[in-house]
Structure 1
Amino acid sequence: MPETPHPLDPEVLAAQALMREAGVANGDILNPDLAAARAATARFQAFLNQGGPEVTSSEHHIDATPPLRLRLYRPAGAEGPLPVYLHIHGGGFGFGGLDTLDRWKREIAAEAGIAVAGLDYALAPEHPFPAAIGQVMAALRWLREDAAALGIDGDRLAIGGDSAGGNLALGALLRLRDAGAPMPRLGAIIYGMLSTRHDTSSHQRFGGGEYGLSTAKLERFWNNYLPDPALREAPEAAPLHADLADLPPLLLQAAALDPLLDDSLTLDQRLEAAEVPHALTVYEGVPHGFIAQTGFLSKARAARVELTAALLRALR
């Protein structure tokens, strides 16, 4: 790996050594064999998902285009209609599935005492924009309309996402606002992939690949997701360009060593100007994707605790 001029947290270095020893690494979108890259990501995520609390889970099929699977996690022994947090995984719109962040979602469900839902949304380039955002909207409708049968409270709902999932979560909030539909009580945008701009300071400092995610990888992800160049600055696809007024409270979390850092910093500034209640935490010494490593990183656990506290305030 190239030298890192900005030092990584010692726990990150120790975790990276364990991953090398285990022979796992995140898949590379620049690999011409996309199936092999996705398989590598699945093995990497399975390694990160080891351990954590036991919860109950169920899988559901939702009528959407393309068809959609959802996994619903519940704390062991929980009774009554539970608040629910819908989390949309990252992976550049091209990697990931139901098992992405499985341990993290189990931890949120157990710690907050709420239901947590995760999606297996359609991936690009096979399914470019707007397939995934359409599926997210279908999942939100399903969680509200079938709440009683699912044992959840559709009025106590939050939505969030990491990386590309942060894009989809923010995009869903904007669509709900524009439709005059009921809004979730909280949105969580975790190192969101919100703009196609690659000329920012954080891209210049952290986009060379030294910290995992790179500008070149992000460009490939965007090209796969938005094959029509006209959409690259369209608010519905790159929500950092949208009018952000009248959104519910938002929690923003960012990694300091991430080419996408400036997306979060700019979102923070734009939400301030739009007078949207929000909070931003930048976690120092960690790269993009760090929240998945709660088994190794104290800062991943701190970010999870911060989100859990925000969910409890909003939903209870």
Structure 2
Amino acid sequence: MSDTKPTPWIDPEVLAAQTLLREKGVAPGNAQLQPFPEARAATRAYQAALNEGGPALPAVTEHLVTGDFPQVKVRLYRPEGSAPQPVFLHVHGGGFAFGDIDSLDRWKRELAAETGAVIVGLDYALSPDHRYPVALEQVLAVLRWLRAEASALGLDADRMGIAGDSAGGNLALSALLALRDAGEPGPRFGAIIYGMLSAEHDSESHRDWGDGTYGLSTDKLAWYWDLHLGGATASHGYPLHADMAGLPPLLLLAAGLDPLLDDTLKLDRKLTAAGVEHSMTLYRGVPHGFIGQTALLSQAQEARRAVAAGIARYL
């Protein structure tokens, strides 16, 4: 009997998208192999290619949130509709070290047009220049700012949600936990999308998908964690280890070819044990980061529609 691992099924649209992006000459940067400025510039070019063709909206406005932390730029994507409108904050991924306010710009525009909610992005500080807990403090500050300024911004503070993908999923879940622990009002719905929720790298999904064949690798994730935490003891740095009781309804989305898959599966089990209302969908044959490819992948469109359905149901 052969010990060779069987070749997994890969969505044919993923293979076609990879070919198209190679022809465009774009790929995510890799700061393990490139200087940070060069790697970040490559990632911005890759994101820009994915963002092409997003819908126009009546207004897109930017604001600065300041406080006892590095100031953070916030962008509001405003769809048609009358105030007050529901508001949904998205926290981008990138291993805490990559990405910016333009990450998933097309996705945020599509979500705003589809739901009638004001979708919000933010430009949180990246590691290693700013380590834990700076980004989390900024996410919390933006949530508090949105609530405090809701009337002036034409938002409904009682209909607020949050989403995050990858490292952004970590920050979104960590923010929900921090607000719960502080007894503060928080979002009434959250979407955690292939979250980077723990440093448990000996799981089955890391063994199956962590060699980098499908983009993200176990080695790169360990490097991201070292950059982000810098040796700090992080109470919410690894949110998968927290008590989940008392969280709002959550939508979990996972990718089948992702070393982080087991983080989402474990979160699913913990939410069930804690009695938290939630649902989970696994998108098979797609890699980590697939939701940003709504122009190329049917499953990315399905995942966006799942988030839109959550917004419609809870906000």
TM-score normalised over the length of structure 2: 0.96
1:58 matched to 2:54? The reply is no
Q: SS state of the match for residue 70, structure 2?
A: coil
For 1:26, which of 25, 28, 31 is the aligned residue?
Answer: 28
Match of 1:69 among 70, 73, 78: 73
Alignment of 1:1-316 (within 5 A): 5-55=7-57, 56-64=59-67, 65-75=69-79, 77-228=80-231, 231=233, 234-315=234-315
C-alpha deviation, 1:31, in angstroms: 2.0
Per the TM alignment, residue 84 of structure 1 is displaced from its structure 2 partner at its CA by 0.3
**Residues in 2 aligned to 1:304 and 1:127: alpha-carbon distance in whole angstroms:** 30
Unaligned runs of 5+ in 2: none
Q: Report how far residue 217 of structure 1 moved.
A: 0.8
Amino acid at match of 1:27: G
Query: Per the alignment, do residues 108 and 303 of structure 1 end up closer, same or farther by CA in structure 2, a change over 3 Å counting?
Result: same
SS of equivalent to 1:67? strand
Aligned to 1:246, what secondary structure does the other structure show?
coil
Aligned mates of 2:19, 2:34 — CA distance in 1:
26
Amino acid at match of 1:66: P
Q: Which moved more, 1:120-129 or 1:26-35?
A: 26-35
Q: Which amino acid aligns with 1:45?
A: Q
Distance 1:301 1:265 in 2: 22
State the Cα distance separating 1:291 from its structure 2 match.
0.1
CA distance in structure 1 between the partners assigned to 2:226 and 2:279 by the alignment: 31
Q: How far apart are the structure 2 equivalents of 1:147 and 1:128?
A: 29
SS of corresponding position for 2:89: strand
Cα pair 2:54 2:105 within 8 Å, conserved = no
Q: Quick one: distance in 2 between partners of 1:124 and 1:219? A: 14
Contact preservation (8 Å) 1:212, 1:288:
yes
How many residues of Structure 1 are paired with residues of Structure 2 in the alignment?
Answer: 309
The secondary structure found in structure 2 opposite 1:20 is: helix
TM-superposed CA distance for 1:32, in Å, is: 4.2
User: Partners of 1:67 and 1:183 in 2: how far apart?
Assistant: 21
Bigger Cα displacement from structure 2, 22-31 vs 165-174? 22-31
Q: Is the 8 A contact 1:68 1:122 kept in 2?
A: yes
Aligned counterparts of 1:163 and 1:34: Cα–Cα separation in 2: 20
Structure 1 unaligned residues grouped into runs of 5+: none
Structure 1 stretches of at least 4 aligned residues deviating more than 3 Å after TM superposition:
none
SS of residue matched to 1:126: coil
Asked if the contact 2:77/2:108 (under 8 Å) is kept, the reply is yes
- SS of equivalent to 1:174: helix
User: Does the residue aligned with 1:79 lie in a helix, a strand or coil?
Assistant: coil
**CA-to-aligned-CA distance 1:53-72 (integer Å, 9 cap, x gap):** 11120000001311100000
- TM-superposition CA deviations, 1:92-144 (whole Å, max 9, x none): 00001110000000000000011000010000000000000000010001000
Q: Is the 8 A contact 1:52 1:103 kept in 2?
A: yes
Question: 1:236 offset after TM fit, Å?
Answer: 1.1
RMSD of the TM alignment (CA)? 1.2
Amino acid at match of 1:311: I
SS in 2 for 1:135: helix
SS in 1 for 2:262: helix
